[in-house]
Amino acid sequence: MLALGVYPEITLSDARHKRDQARKLVAAGTDPSEYKKAVKVEQQSAANSFETVARAWHGSNKKWSASHSARVLKTLVDHLFPSIGHRNIADLKTRDLLTPIKVVEHSGRLEVAARLQQRTTAIMRYAVQSGMIDYNPAQTSVIHELNHLFNNIEPFSTRGLEGKFAHAKESLKSKNFDFDRALKSLMKNQELF
């Protein structure tokens, strides 16, 4: 049995139209209720696509000048939307987010790649703060990079830390990354070492 709606919200002519559509689906071998569920899932997926969330993040930034806002949107449209714009934001993993950035990086435009990394992290942070996803996979790559830099240091040992910190700060400087804030956060959450 298929529910077509509740009277008076659905008129008799609307109900007849929906009935005819359901009959066509049955004739084609498709279950109308399963089709209705699939359409609903597709609509929800489109509402949570990377492009939709990125545009919402972009629209939430009221402090930008009009020209800067246009440049930010253009970089997203040119570099990120073609490859991951249609994907559901909850399905994106770190490697998915890094792929379009690595393409730009390999083309030699390191500044553009660094800004894309920064914007991708901000978009995913916006998604976390909006309750669309539980964690920021773009931030995970930075945590992994920091852990990799410090993996040779013995716990509670300060020998060699200054050199490692200097190297880490230098390698992350091009990414406009707040190293000191991230390090404090990692040590506070005991994710480092």
Half-sphere CA count of 182, side-chain side, radius 13 A: 18
Q: What is the pLDDT of residues 148-173, one digit of tens each?
A: 555 544 554 455 555 655 666 666 65
Q: Which range has highest mean pLDDT (67-71, 107-111, 130-134, 170-174)?
A: 67-71
Asked whether the beta carbons of 127 and 133 are under 8 A apart, the reply is yes
| Least confident window among 27-31, 36-40, 55-59, 155-159 | 155-159
Asked whether the beta carbons of 99 and 120 are under 8 A apart, the reply is no
CA–CA separation, 90 vs 124, rounded Å?
10
What is the band of 18 on the pLDDT scale with cuts at 50, 70, 90? confident
Domain ranges of the chain: 17-47, 50-134, 138-188
Backbone angles phi, psi at 152, to 5 degrees: -90, 0
Closest by alpha carbon to 64, among 80, 51, 75? Answer: 75
The CATH homologous superfamily for domain 50-134 is Tyrosine recombinase, N-terminal domain (1.10.150.130)
What share of the chain in percent tops pLDDT 90? 29
Q: What are the residues facing 88 on neighbouring strands?
A: 49
Q: Which residue has the higher pLDDT, 161 or 19?
A: 19
Q: Quick one: average pLDDT of 17-42?
A: 80
Transcribe the chain into DSSP letters. ------TTTS-HHHHHHHHHHHHHHHHTT--HHHHHHHHHHHHHHHHTBHHHHHHHHHHH--SS-HHHHHHHHHHIIIIIHHHHTTSBGGG--HHHHHHHHHHHHHTT-HHHHHHHHHHHHHHHHHHHHTTS-SS-HHHHHHHHHHHHHHTTSPTT--TTHHHHHHHHHHHHHTTT--HHHHHHHHHHTT---
Entry pTM: 0.56
What is the band of 59 on the pLDDT scale with cuts at 50, 70, 90? very high
Task: Copy the structure tokens of residue 2.
Answer: 């298929």
Q: Which range has highest mean pLDDT (58-67, 159-168, 177-186)?
A: 58-67
